[in-house]
Amino acid sequence: MEKYIQDVIQHMRLKNPSQPEFHQAAEEVLTSLLPALEKHPELKEKKILERVVEPERQVIFKVAWMNDQDEIQVNRGFRVQWNSAIGPYKGGLRFHPSVTLSIMKFLAFEQTFKNSLTSLAMGGAKGGSDFDPKGKSDGEIMRFCQEFMTELYRHIGEQTDIPAGDIGVGAREIGYLFGQYRKIQNKFVGVLTGKGVEWGGSFIRPEATGYGATYFLDEMLSVRGEGIKGKRVAISGSGNVAQYAVEKVNQLGGIVVTLSDSNGAIHDPDGVKDEKFEYLLDLKQVRRGRIKEYAEEFNVDYFKNSRPWDVDCDIAFPCATQNEIDKHDAKQLIDSGIIAVVEGANMPTTLEATEMFLEQGISFGPGKAANAGGVACSGLEMAQNSMRLTWSPSEVDARLREIMKNIHLLAKETAQKYDATLSDGRIPNYVVGANISGFTKVARAMIAQGLF
Ligand code: NDP
């Protein structure tokens, strides 16, 4: 069976050249499925692996728009609709200059299994553009979003594919995208999530990924007989996920000692809390400034062009982007004595670094389980849109907490069922647990629905 998995990986690599991020994501999932394939040989007979590494549809389109100097700009747009066996396609849009088909495919592939773990009926997709929102005026952002939606609208719909935000796509961009969809289609429907609460959005959606990942961390620590209280937490990023991870870690008594953006990292050993947290929200959400300004304002260390992993901490909480913890960073974190890594971002840890953490018996919460709170809350937004109801913040938060608890339990029990535990047998291998449980539900639905 091991050879069969390696053959599928080899074929996938040859068929999709120059897509390293997609190769990495697919390899991580496929290799961890070995115990499930040994137990269920029908998965091989039905060629589920060969089918699941192929997206159902991938759309690439041109986005031409006008900047403030009346110059024509051309970007590339993407929507990769990976798998709709368990529900309509669902997944965010990323606007960042690094966006390529490989990155869209890795994210859509991961999203499929993440959505499956939430227990809500959502298939997997991802989209975006190589457009760089940094330094653009409001008018430029609006015109770009309108042109992007002028093509995207024909591929999505409230029963077909429901995008949301991701890096570079927050409340402002969702507003412009939704407005253009509504204008073109003359329909007010829940075709996007992450909408403003006054026009169909859900309370807690902006907070959901950061809160949810912290709830997942709390569950992982409780398995070790520990809690967040008093723990020093190194967070990377300072965007949507990082901000609300900071808030929830603070609420649960932890101390957030780092933050970063693409220019560098800050180290604040006293913790990003109280007025410093309020400053962070204003800096990033209102003024759209750089994290360096936090260091200047509060007189703490700033490390230019650095990642935040070279500090004393108990927990690493990457919330910026893919591959931001490599084996060198992993060694630093292990030497610092960390007990847990929780992935707020998608695939922030390289395969080698993940292996190092697992070998050391460090509780490792993979993104597809740990950061599923965002899409889960998007699922709750879809439910509210269908019922034309708005649940209160406490009701949504309670549902989010419950969903994260269940995802943790599912990943833990699946890991135990397949004998995938770390060093002393007490700590579950959540990578194996999450991959197998996310995958088997999708695989069963594909088999039940015929050739798909
Ligand atoms: P934001 O755009 O709000 O914030 C991203 C943060 O990461 C910023 O601080 C940004 O810095 C930093 N960053 C981005 N790219 C790089 C890079 N190449 N190197 C260093 N820092 C970088 O995005 P989100 O917070 O929404 O997303 C963060 C991660 O979480 C992503 O991996 C995303 O896929 C994942 N995620 C997000 C969900 C959501 O609901 N938003 C749901 C599940 C996962 P700068 O401003 O300088 O670019």
Structure tokens at 181: 């969809």
Measured from the Cβ of residue 449, the count of other Cβ atoms closer than 10 Å reads: 11
Q: Which of 166, 193, 346 to mutate to test the pocket of ligand 1 (most atoms within 8 A of CB)?
A: 166
| 252-257 long-range Cβ contacts below 8 angstroms, 24+ apart | 252/214, 252/218, 252/227, 252/228, 253/227, 253/228, 253/229, 254/228, 254/229, 254/230, 254/315, 255/230, 255/231, 257/232, 257/233, 257/311, 257/312, 257/313
Which of ligand 1's atoms lies nearest the C-alpha of 243?
A: 25
CA of 173 to the centre of ligand 1 (A): 15
CA of 237 to the centre of ligand 1 (A): 6
73 within 8 A of 66, measured Cβ to Cβ: yes
Among 114, 126, 195, 441, the active-site one is 126
User: Side-chain half-sphere of 139: how many Cα atoms within 13 Å?
Assistant: 5
223 within 8 A of 427, measured Cβ to Cβ: yes
Task: Map residue 231 onto helix, strand or coil.
Answer: coil
Q: Where are the domains of the chain?
A: 2-188, 208-361
Q: Which of 241, 305, 371 to mutate to test the pocket of ligand 1 (most atoms within 8 A of CB)?
A: 241
Closest residue (by CA) to atom 35 of ligand 1? 345
Q: What is the pLDDT of residue 56?
A: 98
4 within 8 A of 90, measured Cβ to Cβ: no
CA of 324 to the centre of ligand 1 (A): 11
Give the whole-angstrom CA distance, residue 259 versus residue 302. Answer: 10
Q: Taking the chain (452 residues) in consecutive chunks of 10 residues, what is each chunk's mean pLDDT? A: 96 98 98 96 96 98 98 98 98 98 98 98 98 97 98 98 98 98 98 97 98 98 97 98 98 98 98 98 97 98 98 98 98 98 98 97 98 98 96 98 98 96 90 98 96 85
Sign of CA pseudo-dihedral 149, 159, 448, 24: positive
Residues 6+ apart with CB under 8 A from 444: none
Sign of CA pseudo-dihedral 32, 22, 82, 3: negative
How buried is residue 163: exposed, middle or buried, by Cβ count under 10 Å (0-12/13-18/19+)? Answer: buried
Measured from the Cβ of residue 286, the count of other Cβ atoms closer than 10 Å reads: 8
Give the whole-angstrom CA distance, residue 156 versus residue 165. Answer: 15
Taking the model in full, what pTM does it have? Answer: 0.97
Q: What is the pLDDT of residue 382?
A: 97
Give the whole-angstrom CA distance, residue 124 versus residue 109. Answer: 7
Concatenated DSSP letters for 97-127? TT--HHHHHHHHHHHHHHHHHTTSS-EEEEE
Residues 6+ apart with CB under 8 A from 435: 28, 29, 32, 33, 113, 366, 368
Give the whole-angstrom CA distance, residue 65 versus residue 140. Answer: 8
Which strands make up the sheet holding 264-267, listed edge to edge?
Answer: 301-304, 264-267, 255-261, 232-235, 315-317, 340-342, 363-365
How buried is residue 4: exposed, middle or buried, by Cβ count under 10 Å (0-12/13-18/19+)? Answer: middle
Give the whole-angstrom CA distance, residue 77 versus residue 5. Answer: 32
CA of 166 to the centre of ligand 1 (A): 7
Beta strands in 113-200 (DSSP E): 123-129, 161-164
Q: Name the pairing type of β-strands 315-317 and 340-342.
A: parallel
Q: What is the pLDDT of residue 444?
A: 97
Q: What is the pLDDT of residue 230?
A: 98
162 within 8 A of 89, measured Cβ to Cβ: yes
Domain 208-361 homologous superfamily, CATH: NAD(P)-binding Rossmann-like Domain (3.40.50.720)
Instruction: Specify the CATH architecture of the domain 2-188.
Output: 3-Layer(aba) Sandwich (3.40)
Residues 6+ apart with CB under 8 A from 6: none
Q: By C-alpha distance, which of 165, 137, 119, 177 is closest to 380?
A: 119
Q: What is the pLDDT of residue 424?
A: 75
Measured from the Cβ of residue 244, the count of other Cβ atoms closer than 10 Å reads: 25
On the question of a common fold for 2-188 and 208-361, the answer reads yes
Catalytic residue flag (residue 441)? no
Q: By C-alpha distance, which of 53, 14, 46 is closest to 30?
A: 53
Kindly list the protein residues whose Cβ atom lies closer than 6 A to any atom of ligand 1.
Answer: 165-168, 170, 209, 237-242, 261-263, 319-321, 344-346, 371, 374
